[in-house]
């Protein structure tokens, strides 16, 4: 049987914050990362567009040999994952699997809050989809979810424009809007995989006792658990005990990707430019 890499997908660089944690936890597998930088951000786009873009990316990763794809993007997980899992997969590759980042996060967030009030920061698409209140409500019906969208944050990260007073304004403004909703919020979820890059700036504007939760470690743990429970999928993944291979692909400029990705991952990256059309 042909074995293949684990695919990790995001609209741009954000998924690298998840991949970094996955590599630390499961270093032996081969990985293929795809950033659709040419079409980022996905956050303000319609359900239809996010579904179409995400499906194109997933189909491309399947053609490149990935039996398993992680949507390391909340917007794609909120707006496209269910349709891909329930409708598209049976048609395009019934034995392959696509997993998202929202459910694994919703499953654990209730263990982090004492006050039972949490804040969720995400893209406009993720917030409007209502996915987090719905999913968290399934696992922790007593937890109150306050949401705030942060439309400027992904562009700030994609363009590496977060280290200046202008960026500070947008970060402070969204945090104030969220914290005004309730003084009892004790846990804030960074429900966008781009946001961990902004964590030091976010920290500045929050009370010290508020916990900031990012998803990388949570998703890595859940992936390890998934692979443990699914030997049929494990057997389809290429694995090297001495350390697997990594391939980085972008739909936009490779020089910009390499420079930027290095900041996210802390290691040198040489990416390939790809076109997602079959
Ligand atoms: N990293 C994506 C997420 O987690 C960003 C989406 C975007 O491109 O706006 O939502």
* Helices (H) then strands (E): counts for the chain: 14, 10
Query: Per the structure, how many domains does the chain have?
Result: 2
CA 11/CA 40 separation, integer angstroms = 5
**Has residue 1 got a pLDDT over 80?**
no
- Which atom number of ligand 1 is nearest to the Cα of residue 158? 8
SS3 163: coil
User: What angle, 0 to 180 degrees and rounded to 10, lies between the N-to-C axes of helices 102-109 and 131-139?
Assistant: 50
Which entry of 73, 150, 174, 249 is annotated as an active-site residue?
73
**Could you tell me the sign of the dihedral formed by the alpha carbons of 156, 270, 226, 25, in that order?**
negative
Q: Report the separation in Å between the CA atom of 231 and the middle of ligand 1, taken as the mean of its atom positions.
A: 31
CA 273/CA 205 separation, integer angstroms = 38
- For residues 107 and 210, membership in a common domain is answered with yes
Annotated catalytic, 249? no
In which residue are the tokens 């392959």 written? 96
Annotated catalytic, 73? yes
Report pLDDT for 164: 85
From 166, 192, 214, give the residue that closes a domain. Answer: 214
- Which atom number of ligand 1 is nearest to the Cα of residue 15? 1
Expressed as residue numbers, the domain containing 203 is 103-214
CA 18/CA 215 separation, integer angstroms = 7
Residue 150 belongs to domain with CATH number: 3.40.50.1860
Query: Does residue 278 lie within any of the structural domains?
Result: no
Phi and psi at 238, nearest 5°, equal: -75, 135
SS3 46: coil
Query: Does residue 58 lie within any of the structural domains?
Result: yes
Which entry of 66, 150, 174, 192 is annotated as an active-site residue?
192
Query: Does residue 1 lie within any of the structural domains?
Result: no
Query: Does residue 146 lie within any of the structural domains?
Result: yes
Q: Which residues are near ligand 1 (CB < 6 Å)? A: 10-12, 14, 40-43, 73-75, 123, 126, 154, 192-194
8, 38, 75, best to mutate for ligand 1 pocket (most atoms within 8 Å of CB): 75
Q: Specify whether the backbone of 29 is left (phi greater than 0), alpha (psi in -120 to 50) or beta.
A: beta
Bridge partners for 7 per DSSP:
32, 69
Task: Render pLDDT for 63-82 as a digit per residue (tens, 0 to 9).
Answer: 999 999 999 999 999 999 99
Task: Render pLDDT for 97-113 as a digit per residue (tens, 0 to 9).
Answer: 999 999 999 999 999 99
Task: Render pLDDT for 123-149 as a digit per residue (tens, 0 to 9).
Answer: 999 999 999 999 999 999 999 999 999
- For residues 80 and 111, membership in a common domain is answered with no
pTM of the predicted structure, to 2 decimals: 0.96
- For residues 109 and 210, membership in a common domain is answered with yes
Report pLDDT for 202: 96
Report pLDDT for 159: 87
Interacting residues of 127 by C-beta distance below 8 A, sequence separation 6+: 120, 147, 148, 149
Report pLDDT for 263: 79
**Has residue 266 got a pLDDT over 90?**
no
């Amino acid at each position: 049987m042909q074995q293949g890499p684990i695919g990790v997908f995001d609209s741009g660089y954000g998924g690298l914050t998840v991949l970094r944690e996955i590599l630390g936890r499961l270093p032996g597998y081969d990985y293929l990362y795809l950033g659709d930088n040419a079409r980022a951000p996905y956050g303000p786009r319609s359900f239809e567009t996010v579904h179409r873009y995400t499906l194109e990316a997933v189909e491309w990763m399947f053609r490149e040999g990935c039996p398993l794809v992680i949507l390391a993007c909340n917007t794609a997980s909120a707006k496209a994952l269910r349709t891909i899992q329930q409708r598209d997969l049976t048609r395009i590759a019934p034995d392959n699997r696509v997993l998202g980042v929202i459910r694994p996060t919703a499953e654990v967030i209730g263990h982090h809050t004492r006050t039972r009030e949490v804040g969720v920061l995400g893209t406009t698409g993720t917030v409007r989809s209502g996915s987090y209140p719905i999913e968290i409500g399934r696992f922790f019906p007593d937890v109150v979810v306050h949401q705030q969208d942060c439309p400027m944050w992904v562009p700030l990260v994609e363009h590496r424009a977060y280290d200046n007073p202008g960026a500070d304004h947008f970060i402070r403004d969204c945090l104030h809007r969220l914290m005004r909703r309730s003084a009892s919020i004790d846990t804030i979820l960074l429900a966008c995989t781009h946001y961990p890059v902004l964590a030091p700036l976010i920290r500045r504007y929050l009370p010290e006792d508020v916990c900031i939760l990012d998803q990388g470690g949570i998703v890595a743990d859940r992936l390890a658990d998934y692979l443990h429970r699914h030997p049929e999928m494990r057997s389809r993944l290429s694995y090297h005990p001495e350390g697997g291979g990594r391939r980085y692909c972008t739909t936009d400029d490779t020089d910009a990707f390499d420079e930027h990705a290095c900041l996210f991952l802390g290691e040198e990256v040489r990416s390939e430019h790809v076109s997602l059309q079959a």
